[in-house]
Amino acid sequence: MPVRVLFQFGTRPEAIKLCPVVLHLRSQPERFDVRVCVTAQHRSMLDQVLGAFGVTPDYDLNLMLPGQTLFQSTSRMMAALEPVLLGVDGWKPEVAMVQGDTTTTFCGALAAFYARVPVGHIEAGLRTGDLTQPFPEELNRVLTGRMADLHFAATSWAAENLRKEGVANERIWVTGNTGIDAVLHVKAGLEEGRLQSGVDWSHLDPAKKLILVTAHRRESFGAGFERICQALGDIAERPDVEIVYPVHPNPNVMETVNRILLGRANVHLIAPLDYVPFIDLMRRAYLLITDSGGVQEEGPSLGKPILVLREKTERPEAVAAGTVKLVGTDREKIVAEANLVLNSAKMRESMAVVHNPYGDGHASERISAATLSFFRK
């Protein structure tokens, strides 16, 4: 009998990293009976990724509310997930897959634990060692790890973190990161003409160095986010650069970004991009400035230098490899490090080597094999 697998996710980053796994398992109907449950923690941004990969949810809980707090989203998710995990429709999963560190990840793992359904944690073992950075994601990830039965670590470093926390070695599989499966699939499609970004970039000046920015971390809201935007304004004063910033719809982000950067020369504030045009824009960029974990993983596969707007990262491998630098939210440091890359071709080349410690594009296959081995014991 096929293994009944339930994927639970709710945000754009989760969808990007889980859709390749969903599609790979669904290509083996004799081995897996797959269903997808979305919380819609990020409604519009989630839907465009589902559309790009052709994944239709079996359960759409549609839980997003404007301005919802962590208290509200957590309690509503737990209540809505209960009937899905208990199989009130006659289909009860044998394993519940969650990814990463979101509120949906934590609630999905906890609901599965309550329902006595084994939990598979994709992208397990990432740690900063500080429960406040990133907040609340670090705690979500740690707690999910305590409830998981199958730990799919992207790297050996992440696997070692799990071993140090007492996870049995036979429950850990080093798979690579599924986000690399996704980005390499899209990159190849764009290069071969099978995929089109659907966005006209002709308004961008090819003579200028394109800087792609993403910044929306909760722990930076307030003074930290003010400093980030001020630094971007300083960088934009250079006549040789052009900044494109897809602005996250969170009001805490939009208010600060619009107040400081709207109308500035060399700055394009745009709506969040669908996944395919975002990868296309990453391909065109000279430099990436981000607080996104996903961009930290994707950028090295595209040969892009990355400045990370965090004090700590749970993805240190690219820092060690030299393709990523941590700059935090310090205005002067952000500007200084950006100028180093922009002024020195040698510096940029040293950071732009195509080298990805996070995966080779075959993580979905390894997760499939590991899941089968777990149930055949």
Residues 6+ apart with CB under 8 A from 343: none
Catalytic residue among 12, 24, 101, 242: 101
Catalytic residue among 4, 31, 76, 218: 218
Amino acid present at 185: H
Please say if the pLDDT value at position 219 is more than 80. no
Is 219 in the active site?
no
Q: What share of the chain is helix, strand, coil (3-state, %, to 5)?
A: 45, 15, 35
Q: Which helix (H) or strand (E) holds 4?
A: strand 3-9
- At residue 319 the predicted structure's pLDDT band, cuts being 50, 70 and 90, is confident
Report domain extents, the chain.
Answer: 3-176+362-375, 201-351
What is 3-176+362-375's CATH superfamily? Answer: Glycogen Phosphorylase B; (3.40.50.2000)
Is 101 in the active site?
yes
Tokens of 117: 């359904």
Please say if the pLDDT value at position 65 is more than 60. yes
Q: Are domains 3-176+362-375 and 201-351 of this chain identical in fold?
A: yes
Q: How far is CA 354 from CA 16, 127, 276, 322, in A?
A: 21, 25, 20, 11
Indicate the pairing of strand 3-9 with strand 150-153: unpaired
Residue entry with tokens 């797959």:
34
Note the pLDDT of residue 354: 57
Is 217 in the active site?
no
Mapped onto helix, strand or coil, the DSSP state of residue 145 is helix
What is 201-351's CATH superfamily? Answer: Glycogen Phosphorylase B; (3.40.50.2000)
Please say if the pLDDT value at position 377 is more than 70. no
* Range 282-290 average pLDDT: 96
Is 203 in the active site?
no
Note the pLDDT of residue 234: 98
Is 123 in the active site?
yes
Is 218 in the active site?
yes
Q: How far is CA 95 from CA 8, 44, 240, 372, in A?
A: 11, 27, 52, 11
In the chain, pLDDT over 70 holds for what percent of residues? 99
Note if the bond before 13 is cis, omega within 30 degrees. no
Q: How far is CA 38 from CA 13, 58, 249, in A?
A: 13, 8, 20
Question: Across all residues in the chain, what is the average pLDDT?
Answer: 93
Note the pLDDT of residue 321: 80
* Range 22-33 average pLDDT: 97
How far is it, in rounded angstroms, from Cα 38 to Cα 364? 19
Please say if the pLDDT value at position 269 is more than 80. yes
